[in-house]
Chains A and B, each alone.
Chain A
Amino acid sequence: MSAMLTAVAVLAVLLVAAYGVAVTERLVADGLRTARSAFITPLAEAATLLRQEDLRPEPSDRFLYCSAPIIAWCAVGLAALVIPLGERIRGFDPAIGLFYFIVVLGPFVIAMMNAGWGSGDKLGVLGAFRAAAHLLAYEVPLGFAVIGPAMAAGSLSLVRIVEGQAGLWYVVWQPLGLGIYLVAALFMTYRRPFDLPLSGRELGGGVLAEYSGPRLLLFRVALNALFVLLMALAVVVFFGGFHGPFLPGPAWMTIKTFALVAAVLRVTRLLPRLRHDQMLSLAWKVLLPASLVHVMVTGVLILFVFGGGP
Chain B
Amino acid sequence: MLSSFFITFREALQCGLLIVLLAGYPELRPGRRAMYAGITCGLALALALALLPALSGRMPDIGHWINARYISECIIFYLGAALLALYGPEGKHKPEPTPSGAGLFTLGFLLFFFEAHSLALYNIDLSTLDGAAKIAPAAAAGLVIGLLPIWLLEKKIASARLERFFSPGSLLVTVGAIKFITGGVPEVEDGDILIGVQQGLQHFVEGSVDHLQSLLMIGQHPFIETPFAGLADYLREQRLSTALTVAFVMAPPLLVMIRVFSRPDPEVRGLDVAAQRRLKKAFFRREMAFLSTPVIVSLMLLIVSLHAVNASVNPLSEPEPIPVMESEERQGVILISLTDRIGDFTDGKLRKYVFYSGRDKVVFLAIMKPDGSVGLALDECEICKPAEWNTSAIGYAQRGDHLVCKYCMSPIAIPTVNEPGGCNPIPVPFAIEKDNIALRLDDLMRVHKAARDMEKKGTHF
Decide if A and B are genuine partners.
Answer: no
Which residues of chain A have a CB within 8 Å of any CB of chain B?
none
Which residues of chain B have a CB within 8 Å of any CB of chain A?
none
